[in-house]
């Protein structure tokens, strides 16, 4: 039972190690592609098991919970793992064209796979300190990937990214220490029960520490500065995987902790989350409106969209959590894809600065088509995935008559349209200022395939979610139900005994 949980961790690590030893040859990149493909298979296996049989938990080292480390997948974890694997495959293929040999020699593929492993570890672990460890694995790999490109922008972005994330990491660590100090345990399922005996006031204070720590990771207001400062600087493959996954790990952690452990004083903690989420949405989208660069706009939109997801959590109603889960799934796919598209744009049009590019609609209609799918999905246009995500959140807010919140969510949607059309008008519709004809045929066949297959694949997922949302909504409902009533989760973990009872 437990190996199905281990494979999604072990495969990327093994891939990273192999890719490292073959980093000087072309084999490295294919190892990465093969490894992520294998990972996808393993993730599907896990997903299927969780989908059919419910929460899967395993005790590492066969030590029983809560003493040993638990890996556990409920529906939320399982789907996050699956989406991560999908993004990993897409980006690994994209990297075939996007990553230069210099970066490969410096270990790009190894770093990338470790990053994926860290993300997956965070999704799969059922232990708070272990979560910290995976956060760090993810963080350090992201540091490396971020600065791999070198150059002034990447280094400057790196400085801010590193500095601000380190603060959050240390706060997280401190929070773990404090939480252990009042509960005596680290196992999340065990914590869920142990907090009942803890002093509620003290628990609230510690919850706030976690909220801020994860808030930095998730890029909530006013903690998001690192993201727009850095996400536009690295390789496109890197910013795509960052955009898709990293903040979502923060959101995931918020969801996990604030449904499983810190649900003792929703009137305070979740109310704060609610207003933070609203501010995040609004400030993020206004930030995007102020930008004139493809990737910078996208970066601020990550912030804004995180607001929606956290809003779903903050509402803490069944529908709100359904919306949060659905939003996560949708957003990872769409946002990663938009960054991938930005990369192709930059390659053929010469820049991501909107004033310096154009002509993509006329000369690269396929790219334009794929962009429209992703961008208008992000903007929440039906019948694309983003519409249903927004719909669920707005409905959840309206359901409990949170008028201002719903209004903000809708207004932010409008501003998202504004930004996406700004990109569309400047990069796609308007002619290129230098008269360049940005055609996809500038690429070799192999490059074109490596660039376009992942983009098209992710776009197809976006459309599929949009046209057949029922399966995803139903799934999100099941996942949300597990979150709101974690009895299954707790039973699976605390009953998943090792050899010693």
Partner 1 sequence: MEALLAITIGALVAAAVYLMLSGHMLRFIFGLVLISNAANLTIFTAGRMTEGAPPLIAPGANAPPEGVANALPQALVLTAIVIGFGLFAFAVTLVWRAWGTLGTIEADEMRAAEPFPEEPAPK
Partner 2 sequence: MNSVILRAGARYLAGLLLLFSIYMLLRGHNEPGGGFIGGLIGATGFVLYAIACGTADARAALRLTPEAIAVAGLGLALLAGLSAALFGDAFFTGQWLFIGETEDDKGLPLSTVLVFDLGVYLAVFGSILALVFTMEEEV
Partner 3 sequence: MSARDIPAATGNGLVGILPVLLSAAIFAAFASLLPAIGMGSVLQWVIPWIPSLGISFAFLVDGLSLTFALLISGIGTLVLLYSNSYLAGHPHYARFALFLLAFMISMLGLVLADDLILLFVFWELTTFTSYLLIGFSHGSEQSRRNALQALFVTGAGGLAFLAGLILLGLAAETTRISEILAGGTAIQDHPLYAPILILLLLGAFTKSAQVPFHFWLPNAMAAPTPVSAFLHSATMVKAGIYVMARMHIAMAGSDIWMWTLTILGAATAVYASMLAVRQTDLKQALAYTTLMALGTLTLFLGQEEGYAMTAFATFLIVHSLYKAALFLVVGAIDKATGTREVDALGGLGRFMPVTAAAAGVAALSMAGFPPFLGFIGKELKYAGALAVTSEPVVIAGAILLANALMLVVAGVVAFRPFWRSQAAVTRPIREAPWPMLAGPVLLAALGAAFGIYPDLLQSALVTPTVVSLTGDVGEARTLTLWAGVNLPLVLSIATFALGLVLYAIHPKLREALIEITARIPSLDRGWDGFMDAIRRGSEALTHVIQTGRMTDYLAAMFTTIVAALAAGMIWGGLPGLTPIGADLTWIHLPLAALLLAGAAQTAFTSSRIAAVAALGVVGIGTALVFIYFGAPDVAITQLMVEVLVVVLIAIVMLRVPRLKAAPFRPLHAIIAAAMGVVTTLVLLAVVSVPLDRRLSDFFEAASWPDAYGRNIVNVILVDFRALDTFGEVAVVVVAALSAMALLRGGRSSEGER
Total binding residues toward partner 3, as defined by CB under 8 A: 122
495 touching partner 3, by CB under 8 A: no
Positions touching Na ion (CB under 5 A) are 242-243, 246-247
| Separation in Å, CA 373 to CA 51, 77, 110, 243 | 28, 27, 32, 17
Position among 230, 269, 280, 482 found at the interface with partner 1 (CB under 8 A): 230
Judged by beta carbon, residue 335 or residue 390, the one nearer Na ion is 335
Tell me how far apart the alpha carbons of residues 343 and 129 are, in angstroms, rounded to a whole number: 36
Judged by beta carbon, residue 30 or residue 67, the one nearer partner 3 is 67
133 touching partner 2, by CB under 8 A: no
Position among 2, 44, 54, 174 found at the interface with partner 1 (CB under 8 A): 174
Within 10 Å of residue 279's Cβ, how many Cβ atoms?
Answer: 15
- Residue 197 DSSP code: G
Q: How wide is the angle at C-alpha 12 spanned by C-alphas 449 and 71, nearest 5°?
A: 135
Least separation in angstroms between CB 448 and partner 1: 25
Tell me how far apart the alpha carbons of residues 458 and 451 are, in angstroms, rounded to a whole number: 12
* Residue 353 contacts which entry, partner 2, partner 1, partner 3, none (Cβ below 5-8 A, type-dependent): partner 1
What distance, in Å, lies between the first and last C-alpha atoms of the chain? 18
Judged by beta carbon, residue 34 or residue 166, the one nearer partner 1 is 166
13 touching partner 3, by CB under 8 A: yes
Candidate segments 78-86, 230-238, 255-263, 478-486, binder of partner 1 by CB under 8 A: 230-238
Q: Cis link prior to 137 (omega < 30° from 0)?
A: no
Candidate segments 30-38, 105-113, 150-158, 405-413, binder of partner 1 by CB under 8 A: 150-158
Judged by beta carbon, residue 151 or residue 383, the one nearer partner 1 is 151
Q: Please list, in sequence order, all residues whose beta carbon lies within 8 angstroms of the beta carbon of residue 304, skipping any fewer than 6 positions away.
A: 280, 281, 282, 283, 284, 285, 287, 288, 412, 415, 416
Position among 99, 477, 489, 493 found at the interface with partner 3 (CB under 8 A): 477
301-360 positions binding partner 3, by CB under 8 A: none
Judged by beta carbon, residue 136 or residue 265, the one nearer Na ion is 136
List phi, psi (to 5°) of 432: -70, 130
Least separation in angstroms between CB 69 and partner 2: 8
Q: Which long-range contacts (CB under 8 A, 24 or more apart) does 29-34 make?
A: 29/92, 29/95, 29/96, 29/99, 29/104, 29/109, 31/109, 32/92, 32/95, 32/109, 32/112, 32/113, 33/89, 33/92, 33/93, 33/96
Cβ(18)–Cβ(113) below 8 Å: no
Judged by beta carbon, residue 83 or residue 111, the one nearer partner 2 is 111
Please tell me whether residue 108 adopts helix, strand or coil conformation.
helix
List phi, psi (to 5°) of 81: -60, -45
311-350 positions binding partner 1, by CB under 8 A: none
Please tell me whether residue 57 adopts helix, strand or coil conformation.
strand
Binding string to partner 2 for residues 50 to 89, with x set by CB under 8 A, is what?
--------xxxxx--------x------------------
Which of these, 74, 69, 68, 65, lies nearest to 46 by C-alpha position?
A: 74
List of residues contacting partner 2 (CB under 8 A): 2-3, 6, 10, 13-14, 17, 20-21, 58-62, 71, 110, 498-499
List of residues contacting partner 1 (CB under 8 A): 129, 133, 136, 139-140, 143-144, 147, 150-160, 162-163, 166-167, 169-170, 173-174, 176-178, 180-181, 228-230, 232-233, 293, 351, 353
């Amino acid at each position: 039972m437990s190996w199905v949980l281990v494979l999604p961790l072990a495969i990327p690590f093994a891939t990273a190690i192999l890719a490292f030893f073959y980093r000087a040859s072309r084999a490295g990149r294919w190892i990465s592609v093969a490894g992520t493909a294998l990972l996808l298979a393993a993730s599907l296996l896990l997903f299927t098991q969780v989908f059919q049989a419910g929460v899967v938990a395993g005790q590492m080292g066969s030590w029983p919970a809560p003493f040993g480390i638990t890996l556990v997948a409920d529906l939320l974890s399982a789907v996050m793992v699956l989406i991560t694997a999908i993004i990993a495959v897409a980006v690994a293929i994209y990297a075939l064209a996007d990553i230069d040999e210099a970066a490969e020699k410096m270990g790009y593929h190894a770093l990338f796979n470790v990053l994926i492993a860290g993300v997956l570890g965070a999704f799969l672990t059922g232990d708070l300190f272990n979560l910290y460890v995976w956060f760090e694995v993810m963080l350090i790999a992201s540091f490396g990937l971020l600065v791999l490109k070198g150059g002034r922008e990447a280094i400057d972005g790196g400085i801010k990214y590193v500095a601000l994330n380190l603060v959050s990491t240390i706060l997280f660590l401190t929070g773990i220490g404090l939480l252990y100090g009042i509960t005596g345990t680290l196992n999340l399922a065990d914590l869920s029960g142990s907090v009942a005996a803890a002093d509620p006031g003290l628990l609230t204070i510690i919850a706030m520490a976690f909220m801020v720590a994860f808030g930095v990771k998730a890029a909530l207001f006013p903690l998001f500065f690192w993201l727009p400062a850095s996400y536009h600087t690295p390789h496109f493959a890197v910013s795509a995987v960052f955009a898709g996954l990293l903040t979502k790990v923060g959101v995931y952690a918020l969801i996990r902790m604030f449904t499983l452990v810190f649900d003792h004083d929703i009137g305070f903690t979740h109310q704060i989350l609610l207003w933070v989420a609203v501010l995040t949405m609004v400030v993020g989208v206004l930030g995007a409106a102020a930008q004139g660069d493809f990737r910078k706009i996208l970066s601020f939109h990550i912030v804004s969209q995180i607001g929606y997801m956290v809003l779903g959590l903050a509402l803490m109603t069944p529908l709100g959590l359904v919306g949060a889960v659905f939003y996560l799934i949708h957003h990872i796919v769409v946002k990663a894809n938009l960054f991938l598209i930005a990369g192709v744009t930059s390659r053929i049009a010469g820049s991501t600065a909107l004033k310096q590019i154009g002509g993509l609609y006329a000369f690269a209609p396929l790219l334009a088509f794929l962009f429209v799918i992703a961008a208008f999905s992000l903007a929440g246009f039906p019948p694309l995935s983003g519409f249903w995500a927004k719909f669920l959140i707005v409905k959840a807010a309206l359901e409990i008559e949170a008028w201002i919140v719903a209004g903000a969510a809708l207004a932010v949607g409008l501003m998202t349209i504004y930004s996406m059309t700004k990109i569309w008008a400047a990069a796609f519709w308007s002619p290129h200022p230098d008269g360049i004809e940005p055609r996809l045929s500038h690429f070799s066949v192999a490059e074109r395939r490596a660039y376009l297959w992942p983009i098209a694949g992710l776009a197809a997922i976006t459309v599929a979610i949009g046209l057949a949302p029922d399966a995803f909504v139903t799934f999100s409902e099941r996942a949300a139900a597990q979150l709101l009533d974690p009895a299954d989760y707790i039973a699976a973990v605390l009953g998943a005994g090792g050899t010693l009872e």
